[in-house]
Amino acid sequence: MTMHTTLREWIVAVMLAHLPLLRLAFAQRAKFEGWLKFELACEAVKRHAKHVEVEKEYRSRTGGRQRSDLYFVYEGQQYHLELKTPNTNWGMPGVEQVHRPISRNIASVIEDARKLRGTKGKGLIGFVLFPVPPGDRQWHVYLERISLKLGISLTEQDHCTRIQIPLGDSVAEGVVCCFSVTGGAE
């Protein structure tokens, strides 16, 4: 199993264990990246990752200092992870109607992936696109944009998992996507 698939399983497990919290975030389109970072660190420890650190400093290819959201060693391999929780602006029942700049959110996923290409070890990107109407596929355009800008192949089947978040009388989906941005066959 690839590490990006394992990471996706960890994120989904964390999210499913906190549905009441996510109901608030989804209904208000409130980003939850900071919370997810610490929950994911705990999940990594639980799954026997070693040397887990939040906001780990590393040197980029150009020699500059960067910080990854999460660093860990799993099965002998070092990983630097960047997390994002891009919120959408699509109308749906049970969700506040506010405008969010989804294009800038997707651009930040691409920027983080480029930044991680220079890390020692492997770079991983994990993001949760939310809220998405159940069964809707309009988010695929953003996955394609990320693929094209980074020159990698990303598919829903290999890189994404949809989870449903109850919102009282309605439901919204979160699309959890993870991929590797450095070396290896991931």
Q: Is residue 25 classed as helix, strand or coil in its secondary structure? A: helix
pLDDT of residue 60: 67
Mean pLDDT of the chain, nearest integer: 92
pLDDT score of 80 more than 70: yes
Give me the mean pLDDT over the 19-29 stretch: 95
The pLDDT tens digits of the residues spanning 145-179 come to 999 999 999 999 999 999 999 998 999 999 999 99
Do residues 94 and 170 touch, judged by C-beta distance below 8 A?
Answer: yes
Note if the pTM is more than 0.85. Answer: yes
Which tokens belong to 40? 């994911």
Cβ–Cβ under 8 Å, residues 82 and 60: no
Candidate from 1-10, 69-78, 93-102 with smallest mean pLDDT: 93-102
Determine the pLDDT at residue 61: 64
Strand order in the sheet with 170-180: 50-59, 65-74, 77-84, 122-132, 170-180, 160-167
Q: Please determine, looking at this structure, whether the domain spanning 3-160 carries the CATH number 1.10.3470.
A: no
pLDDT at 73 over 70: yes
Ranges of H-type helices in 17-74: 19-28, 33-46
pLDDT, mean of residues 73-81: 95
With 0-12 / 13-18 / 19 or more C-beta atoms within 10 angstroms meaning exposed / middle / buried, residue 5 is: middle
* pLDDT confidence bin for 62, thresholds 50/70/90: low
Q: Where are the domains of the chain?
A: 3-160
| Residue bearing the bigger pLDDT, 97 or 23 | 23
